[in-house]
């Protein structure tokens, strides 16, 4: 029964896990532990480890059975303006210590010891991130906590736990069931190494614990019981019916029987048939403009219905595609409530350790409890966010991992996986296939050779959904690639002249360049021409880019003159069709994607895509673009010497295979995420077996004993070094339009958890990523302010320009601070 603090703050009987802010009701430790256990069990059941995950939930807060913690939380509630000093009470070590004491003594026994290590690490880490079993300092942070640390009231904690939560016999039986699950999981055949299987299990259990803990706490704080579960299958059936109705409408339009539209229907029908196959890793190589979004949605919905999947998740390389694809899907399904766009984290919790805030309801804690766990039926997110779930620091990212299981995950433009993350990406997909019960679709017109590399994805030999692919690619030919890069170099002046020359021949021109600097420079050079000129780059927030693209599409639809100058963000998935495209030389995949923005529907016969070499682009920090440019130039040269080389076409399947194999070979030493400072690969930290651990010999030499653990990997260290974008960026909310300004104003207030959950969702489309030097410049000139103790960064109005977004000089002329 929940008790309530008396008005005079008298003696409180019983334990305290949390005190509700609205009415001072108390949630007891036993209520919280059993509630989290129940939620964690249901999450763990997704991959057959319900008792393993439940064990973490059962033990995570048992350390709150102390007078020390009770006194702390009461004092914090009584004196919110002068709370007790943080760091004086440790309540997360006790559960890990109990497991170590009960399962990890005597002669080494693999399954009990591994269970204690894996679950114990999740328990001691649930306010920060999984600890190293063995780290670069040749120490075990895990052992320091569960073996070496002394807890003053540990005997009292154990007595209370076994009296009020679960007696010793029940606990023993529960642990035995968890050991059986662990044995079955480890022995399931898969391409993952022994250490790799356990690493993913450790992260899955940690994900289950974090989400269950925060969900139970949020429900208590909001005074809600278990939330009603959505019938996903019924929902997906209704979505499928709406999609089929829309596809039927497409067959009634005047050009429904044009060759390209007939092919689009055939490929969509093939996706429908393929959905009846078992869950696996498949490729969907629909050519650009072939209706990939709706065809893949058709596969996803039908497969989800047949296999009882809980989510359909689109993973895209750029936020630009999220906006367009989500809008297209939302318009068809007519359901905004169940479609989530996740662009960025908004709030940074990577370095948080909030143990001393647990139990109290600070603004920071409200943010942590806000529902941000990817539990929506349909989700659109980015490759950065997908990889962060598995490998980045902080609890907010990994909280979402379990919802990638039992899902259909569609990777749009999968060739854009960053080169240093290739092996990590492949291993994550193998886990989701073999253990996560998910079906994974690799979508692109330019399939990368992900099964060519050492740590490859494991898919069937007949994994391609589209049949007769070569014939379809040829039938979709709508452009001619003209190589100007081999003949001459361009500067901004010359390129501006070339654009003006082509504008006399066509109505619409798209120019795609490799860096934001030259895009902005060309935009300013052409701004004086007497036609609309638009600029697109990642310096603009998603909502801003959406508005620009809407204006551009209107002009395109009306056959009016327009010039659009963009970075490569426009290449992947943006449904816009220009009469002429000019692309700065880059990899063949980029050239192919650029070509997909030209004559997209094939209504103008054959149009031209010009590939030029822009001498003002500084690619020093863009090694992948620079190397892709070199390889593409060699393939262009081969074709000039013999036009039958590589299938006789720069964009042929043979040319693309040649390109990716050379590209991955050039970066062979980078594929496993090399960490220069440690002189190790990320895989060495995460998945090395005991005998090949980079630190095991040093530990034995220093300690003169063998490390008494089965798990020896460095989860915390790996997460500290992980960045999808190697120069770590910061998410900044920008004051674009009335909506952006309103979000910032509301973020500065004190809303309820439910309101903050909505704000997290709304703020996605009003964020921009800043590199460290950009953030430092804006911090120096007053262009950025911080909210929530520095966890949220907000751009001033004067630092955001209506044409090209972020203004690093903080001189956009829109006035000063709004706050």
Q: How far apart are CA 507 and CA 607, in angstroms?
A: 12
Query: Helix or strand or coil: residue 28?
Result: coil
Residue 525 placed within a domain: yes
pLDDT at 112 over 80: yes
Name the nearest CA neighbour of 141 among 713, 798, 702: 713
Q: Are residues 467 and 519 in the same domain?
A: no
Mean pLDDT of 198-204: 98
Q: Quick: pLDDT tens for 233-261.
A: 999 999 999 999 999 998 988 888 888 88
Same domain, 294 and 308: yes
Taking the complete model, does pTM exceed 0.95, yes or no? no
Q: pLDDT, tens digit, for every residue of 387-441?
A: 999 999 988 899 999 999 999 999 988 888 888 999 999 999 999 999 999 999 9
How sure is the predictor about 96, in pLDDT bands with cuts at 50, 70 and 90? very high
DSSP label at residue 381: E
Q: d(Cα 587, Cα 646) in Å, to the nearest integer?
A: 15
Whether residues 651 and 622 fall in one domain: yes
Statement to judge: residues 469 and 487 lie in one domain? no
> Is 513 found in the same domain as 470?
no
Q: Which whole-number Å values give the CA distances from 174 to 58, 179, 211, 561, in the listed order?
A: 10, 9, 21, 71
In a domain, 141, yes or no: yes
pLDDT at 439: 98
Q: What is the pLDDT of residue 753?
A: 55
Tokens of 276: 């009846």
**466 lies in the same domain as 485:** no
- In 187-231, alpha helices (H): 194-221
Beta strands in 627-766 (DSSP E): 674-675, 680-681, 730-733
- Share of residues in the chain with pLDDT > 70 (%): 91
What separation in angstroms does the CA of 135 have from each of 77, 140, 252, 423?
A: 38, 6, 64, 22
pLDDT top residue among 131 and 230:
131
Task: Work out how many domains the chain is built from and give that number.
Answer: 4
Lowest mean pLDDT among 54-63, 193-202, 480-489, 495-504: 480-489
Same domain, 438 and 448: yes
- Between 559 and 372, the more confident residue is 559
Q: 6 in a domain, yes or no?
A: no
The verdict on residue 300 lying in a domain is yes
Asked if pLDDT for residue 30 goes beyond 70, the answer is yes
Taking a C-beta distance cutoff of 8 angstroms, is the pair 616, 521 a contact? yes
4, part of any domain: no
What DSSP state is assigned to residue 382? Answer: E
CATH of the domain at 539: 3.40.50.300
User: What share of the chain in percent tops pLDDT 90?
Assistant: 59
- In this prediction, residue 369 carries a pLDDT of 43
Q: Are residues 571 and 635 in the same domain?
A: yes
Identify the CATH number of the domain in which residue 48 sits: 1.10.3210
Confidence of residue 813 (pLDDT cuts 50, 70, 90): low
Looking at 474, 500, 531, the residue that finishes a domain is 474
What's the pLDDT band for 451 if we cut at 50, 70, 90?
A: confident
Mean pLDDT lowest among 144-148, 602-606, 727-731: 727-731
**Residue 536 shares a structural domain with residue 618:** yes
Q: What pLDDT does 365 receive?
A: 46
Q: Convert the pLDDT of each residue in 505-514 to its tens digit.
A: 999 999 999 9
Position 461 scores a pLDDT of: 80
Residue 370 clears pLDDT 70, i.e. is over it: no
Who wins on pLDDT, 751 or 700? 700
pLDDT digits (tens, 9 = 90+) for 585-639: 999 989 988 988 888 777 778 899 999 999 999 998 888 899 999 999 999 999 8
d(CA 798, CA 803): 13
Res 1: pLDDT: 43
Decide if 435 contacts 190 (C-beta within 8 A): yes
The answer to the question of residue 291 being in a domain is yes
Give residue for tokens 């706050």: 819
Distant-in-sequence, close-in-space partners of 71: CB < 8 Å, separation ≥ 6: none
Residue 359: which pLDDT band, with cuts at 50, 70 and 90?
A: very low
- Boundary of a domain, candidates 616, 648, 669: 669
pLDDT of residue 344: 61
Question: What are the phi and psi torsion angles at 45 (to 5°)?
Answer: -60, -20
> Could you tell me if 324 and 441 lie in one domain?
yes
Task: Note whether 168 and 191 are same-domain residues.
Answer: yes
Out of 617, 650, 669, a domain closes at 669
Q: Region 162-166: what's the mean pLDDT? A: 97
Check whether residue 181 and residue 205 sit in a common domain: yes
| Domain interval for residue 775 | 730-806
In a domain? residue 712: no
Residue 711 lies in a domain: no
Q: Is the pLDDT of residue 728 over 70?
A: no
């Amino acid at each position: 029964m929940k008790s309530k603090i008396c008005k005079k703050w008298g003696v409180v009987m019983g334990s305290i896990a949390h005190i509700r802010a609205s009415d001072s009701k108390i949630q007891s430790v036993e209520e919280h532990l059993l509630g989290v256990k129940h939620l964690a069990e249901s999450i763990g059941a997704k991959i057959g480890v319900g008792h393993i995950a439940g064990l973490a939930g059962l033990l995570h807060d048992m350390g709150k059975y102390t007078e020390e913690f009770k006194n702390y939380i009461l004092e914090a509630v009584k004196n919110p303006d002068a709370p007790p000093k943080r760091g004086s009470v440790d309540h997360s070590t006790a559960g890990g210590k109990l497991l170590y004491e009960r399962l990890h003594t005597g002669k080494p026994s693999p399954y009990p010891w591994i269970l204690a290590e894996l679950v114990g690490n999740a328990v001691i880490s649930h306010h920060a991130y999984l600890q190293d079993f063995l780290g670069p300092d040749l120490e075990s942070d895990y052992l320091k906590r569960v073996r070496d640390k002394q807890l003053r009231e540990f005997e009292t904690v154990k007595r209370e736990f076994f009296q009020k939560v679960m007696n010793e016999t029940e606990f023993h039986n529960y642990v035995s069931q968890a050991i059986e699950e662990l044995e079955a999981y480890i022995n399931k055949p898969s391409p993952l190494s022994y250490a790799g299987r356990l690493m993913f299990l450790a992260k899955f259990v940690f994900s289950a614990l974090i989400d269950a803990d925060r969900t139970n706490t949020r429900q208590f704080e909001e005074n809600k019981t278990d939330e009603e579960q959505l019938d996903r299958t019924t929902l997906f059936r209704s979505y499928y019916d709406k999609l089929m109705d829309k596809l039927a409408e497409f067959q009634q339009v005047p050009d429904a029987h044009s060759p390209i539209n007939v092919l689009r229907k055939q490929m969509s029908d093939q996706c429908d048939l393929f959905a009846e196959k078992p869950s696996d890793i498949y490729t969907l190589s629909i050519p650009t403009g072939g209706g990939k979004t709706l065809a893949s949605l058709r596969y996803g919905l039908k497969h989800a219905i047949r296999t009882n999947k809980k989510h359909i998740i689109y993973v895209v390389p750029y936020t630009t595609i999220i906006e367009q694809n989500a809008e297209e899907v939302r318009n068809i399904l007519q359901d905004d409530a169940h479609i989530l766009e996740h662009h960025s984290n908004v709030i940074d919790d990577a370095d948080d350790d909030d143990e001393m805030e647990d139990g109290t309801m600070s603004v920071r804690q409200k943010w942590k409890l806000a529902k941000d766990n990817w539990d929506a039926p349909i989700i659109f997110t980015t490759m950065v966010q997908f990889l962060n779930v598995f490998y980045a620091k902080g609890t907010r990212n990994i909280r979402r991992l379990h919802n990638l299981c039992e899902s259909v995950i569609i990777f749009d433009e999968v060739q854009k996986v960053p080169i240093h993350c290739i092996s990590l990406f492949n291993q994550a997909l193998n886990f989701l296939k073999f253990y996560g019960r998910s079906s994974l679709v690799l979508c692109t017109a330019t399939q990368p050779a992900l099964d060519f590399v050492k740590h490859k994805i494991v898919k069937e030999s007949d994994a391609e959904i589209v049949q007769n692919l070569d014939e379809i690619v040829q039938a979709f030919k709508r452009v001619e690639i003209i190589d100007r890069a081999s003949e001459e170099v361009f500067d901004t002046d010359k390129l501006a002249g070339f654009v003006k020359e082509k504008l006399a021949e066509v109505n619409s021109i798209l120019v795609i360049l490799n860096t934001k600097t030259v895009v902005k420079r060309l935009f300013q050079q052409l701004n004086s021409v007497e036609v609309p000129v638009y600029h697109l780059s990642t310096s603009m927030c998603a909502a801003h880019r959406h508005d620009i693209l809407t204006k551009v599409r209107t002009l395109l639809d009306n056959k009016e003159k327009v010039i659009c100058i963009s970075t490569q963000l426009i290449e992947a998935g943006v449904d816009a069709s220009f009469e002429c495209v000019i692309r700065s030389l880059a990899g063949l995949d980029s050239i192919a994607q650029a070509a997909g923005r030209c004559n997209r529907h094939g209504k103008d016969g054959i149009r031209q895509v010009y590939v030029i070499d822009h001498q003002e682009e500084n690619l020093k920090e863009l090694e992948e673009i620079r190397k892709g440019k070199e390889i593409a130039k060699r393939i262009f040269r081969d074709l000039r010497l013999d036009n039958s080389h590589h299938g006789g076409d720069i964009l042929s399947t043979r040319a693309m295979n040649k390109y990716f194999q050379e590209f991955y070979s050039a970066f062979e030493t980078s594929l496993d995420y090399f960490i220069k400072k440690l002189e190790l690969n990320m895989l060495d930290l995460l998945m090395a077996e005991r005998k090949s651990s980079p630190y095991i010999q040093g530990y034995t030499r220093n300690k003169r004993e063998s490390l008494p653990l089965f798990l020896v990997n460095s989860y915390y260290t790996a997460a500290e070094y992980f960045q999808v974008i190697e120069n770590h960026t910061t998410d900044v909310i920008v004051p674009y339009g009335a909506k952006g300004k309103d979000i910032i104003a509301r973020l500065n207030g004190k809303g309820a958890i439910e309101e903050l959950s909505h704000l997290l969702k709304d703020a996605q489309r009003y964020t921009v990523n800043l590199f460290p030097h950009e953030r430092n410049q804006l911090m120096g000139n007053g262009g950025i302010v911080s909210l929530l103790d520095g966890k949220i960064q907000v751009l001033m109005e004067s630092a955001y320009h209506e044409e090209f977004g972020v203004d690093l000089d903080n001189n956009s002329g829109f006035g000063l601070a709004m706050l």
